[in-house]
C-alpha cells in the first residue's frame, strides 16, 4: 500500500562513542517497546515496526490499545481505492491494484480489512446478475463467490472471516422471506436451516458479532448462536415502541429538488463495547436537511414488558452504523468525535449509493462531512468504514 507520509527518523544527540549503544533505539528492552506499540494507532504502528528487526519483533507481541475505523473510498471506474485515517486529517492513502472490476463494484459489508464487493451486471433480457467477491485491502487476496439473480439487491448482507484459518461466512437475503449462506467448502449458496430462516423473515437489518447473528424486523429482535454445528435461537425480544413503520404515500412536488422531497429513514442495530444492544432510528424528514436520531438501549434487568430505554448520550463512545459497533473516543485521541454517530446519508434511499458519509454530533445536534477536500475533488462510486487488520509478518 503506497502512502503520502513522511519517513520516520530516530534522532539522538551525539556523545562519547562508548555510550552509543546505550542511546540506540534498537536496544530498548522488549517490554518497554511493547508498551510503546500498545499506545500507537494503526498508521504509526505500521511505520514503527519497520524501524529495525527489534521493533518488528516487539510489534508481533503487541496489540494496539485502541483501534479506530478507517474509510475506504472507491473512485469511479478505477482499479484502486483511497483510504482515509481519521487520525490523519490531511492525508490520503492509495492502495495498490485491486482488480479491473473494483471501480465498478460496491462495498456492501466489511469485516476487518476484508470487503464484500458486489458487481451487478444487466443481461440482454434486463436480468440483474450479481457477482460477489471477498477482497482483503491490505494483502489483495480475493475469494470469488457464486453469482445470483435478484431484483431486490442485497438486504443487510453479513460477512465474517477467521483471519488465521481463512474460514468465512456470508449471509444474504435471497428474497424478502428467505436467507441463504455461503461458507468455505461450499460450491453453491445454501438455504439456511428452517429455524433460522423463520427468524430472518421480513428482517431489514442483520448483524454478526462474536459468532452471534442478530436479526431485526419491525416487531422482534432475535439472536442466533453460530458457535456450534447448527445455529440455535438463544434470545428474542419485542421491539414495539422503538421501531417505527413508515406509512402513507408521498406526492412529488414540482420545482423542488427531488432530494429534499425524499424522506430518508432507516433502523439499525448496534452492539456496544460492553455488549449492550442499541436500536438507532435515523430520520431526515420531508423538506428538511436536518437529521434526527433516536437511540434505544435494551435493559435486561427490567421485569416489565417495556425493556427499551431511550437514551440521549453515548458518553465517551461513538456509533458506526455501517459496522454496527461503538468505538471508544478517548481523551486526546484525534479523529473520533465522542458522543457522535457516523453514518451513510445516501445509502438510506439507494440500494448501493453510499457516498454521503456524515458525522452527527449528539451534543450539537448537527451533521458534518469528514475530509471534505476528498469528496469535492474525486468522483466516487462508493464509500465504507472498516477496521484495518494488524498483520503479524
Encode burial over 72-108: b for 16+ CB neighbours within 10 A, e otherwise: bbbbeebebbbbbbbbbeeebbebeebbeebbbbbbb
**352, 382 in Cβ contact below 8 A?**
yes
d(CA 57, CA 41): 17
pLDDT of residue 393: 44
pLDDT tens, residue by residue, 361-375: 999 999 888 766 565
Distance between CA atoms of residues 360 and 338, nearest Å: 10
pLDDT for the residue numbered 2? 47
Which is more confidently placed, 334 or 211? 211
Q: What is the DSSP string of 161-195?
A: E-TTT--EEEEEESSSS-EEEEETT-SS-EEPPHH
Beta-bridge partners for 161: 168
Collapsed DSSP state (helix, strand, coil) of residue 314? coil
Does the structure show a pLDDT above 80 at 268?
A: yes
Counts for the chain of helices (H) and strands (E), in that order: 6, 26
H or E element that contains 142: strand 142-144
Q: Cell 439487491 belongs to which residue?
A: 153
pTM to 2 decimals?
Answer: 0.81
Q: Angle at the Cα of 276 (from 212 to 70), degrees rounded to 5?
A: 75
Lowest mean pLDDT among 137-141, 156-160, 187-191, 285-289: 285-289
In the chain, % of residues over pLDDT 70:
75
For residue 196, what pLDDT is reported? 66
Domain ranges in the chain?
Answer: 18-60, 70-386
21 pLDDT above the threshold of 60: no
**Please, are residues 7 and 51 in contact by the beta-carbon 8 Å criterion?**
no
Q: Are 209 and 270 in contact (CB under 8 A)?
A: no
The CATH number of domain 70-386, selected from 2.60.40, 2.120.10, 2.40.10, 2.40.128: 2.120.10
Q: Which is it for the CA torsion 213, 201, 277, 281, positive or negative?
A: positive
pLDDT band at 320, cuts 50/70/90? very high
User: Taking 60 as the threshold, does the pLDDT of residue 66 lie above it?
Assistant: no
More confident residue, 44 or 380: 44
Q: 77-81, 114-118, 277-281, 366-370: which has the minimum mean pLDDT?
A: 366-370
pLDDT on residue 117: 93
DSSP state of 130: E
Average pLDDT score over residue span 323-344: 83
Confidence tier at 319 by pLDDT (50, 70, 90)? very high
**Rounded mean pLDDT of 213-231?**
88
Contact 335, 87 (CB under 8 A): yes
**Mean pLDDT over each residue of the chain, to the nearest integer:** 80
Amino acid at each position: 500500500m503506497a502512502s503520502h507520509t513522511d519517513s520516520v527518523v530516530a534522532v539522538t544527540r551525539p556523545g562519547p562513542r562508548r555510550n552509543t549503544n546505550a542511546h540506540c533505539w534498537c536496544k530498548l528492552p522488549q517490554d518497554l517497546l511493547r508498551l510503546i506499540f500498545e499506545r500507537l494507532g494503526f498508521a504509526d504502528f505500521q511505520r514503527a515496526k519497520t524501524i529495525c528487526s527489534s521493533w518488528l519483533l516487539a510489534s508481533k507481541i503487541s496489540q494496539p490499545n485502541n483501534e479506530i475505523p478507517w474509510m475506504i473510498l472507491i473512485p469511479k471506474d478505477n482499479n484502486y481505492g483511497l483510504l482515509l485515517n481519521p487520525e490523519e486529517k490531511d492525508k490520503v492513502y492509495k492502495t495498490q491494484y485491486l482488480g479491473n472490476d473494483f471501480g465498478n463494484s460496491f462495498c456492501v459489508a466489511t469485516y476487518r480489512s476484508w470487503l464484500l464487493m458486489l458487481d451487478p451486471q444487466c443481461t440482454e433480457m434486463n436480468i440483474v446478475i450479481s457477482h460477489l467477491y471477498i477482497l482483503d485491502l491490505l494483502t489483495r487476496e480475493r475469494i470469488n463467490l457464486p453469482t445470483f439473480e435478484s431484483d431486490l439487491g442485497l438486504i443487510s448482507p453479513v460477512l465474517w472471516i477467521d483471519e488465521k484459518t481463512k474460514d468465512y461466512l456470508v449471509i444474504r437475503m435471497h428474497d424478502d422471506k428467505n436467507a441463504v449462506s455461503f461458507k468455505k467448502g461450499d460450491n453453491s449458496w445454501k438455504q439456511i436451516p428452517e429455524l433460522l430462516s423463520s427468524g430472518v423473515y421480513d428482517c431489514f437489518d442483520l448483524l454478526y458479532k462474536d459468532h452471534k447473528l442478530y436479526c431485526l424486523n419491525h416487531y422482534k429482535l432475535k439472536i442466533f448462536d453460530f458457535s456450534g454445528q447448527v445455529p440455535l435461537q438463544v434470545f428474542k425480544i419485542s421491539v414495539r415502541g422503538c421501531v417505527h413503520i413508515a406509512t402513507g404515500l408521498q406526492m412529488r412536488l414540482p420545482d423542488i429538488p427531488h432530494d429534499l422531497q425524499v424522506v430518508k429513514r432507516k433502523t439499525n442495530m448496534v452492539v456496544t463495547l460492553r455488549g449492550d444492544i442499541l436500536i438507532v432510528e435515523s430520520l431526515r424528514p420531508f423538506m428538511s436537511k436536518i437529521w434526527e436520531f433516536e437511540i434505544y438501549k435494551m435493559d435486561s434487568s427490567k421485569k416489565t414488558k417495556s425493556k427499551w430505554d431511550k437514551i440521549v448520550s453515548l458518553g465517551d463512545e461513538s456509533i458506526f452504523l455501517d459496522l454496527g459497533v461503538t468505538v471508544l473516543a478517548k481523551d486526546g485521541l484525534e479523529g473520533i468525535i465522542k458522543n457522535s454517530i457516523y453514518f451513510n446519508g445516501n445509502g438510506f434511499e439507494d440500494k448501493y449509493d453510499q457516498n454521503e458519509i456524515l458525522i452527527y454530533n449528539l451534543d450539537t445536534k448537527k451533521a458534518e462531512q469528514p475530509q471534505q477536500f476528498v469528496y469535492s475533488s474525486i468522483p466516487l462510486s462508493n464509500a465504507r468504514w472498516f477496521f484495518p487488520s494488524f498483520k503479524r509478518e
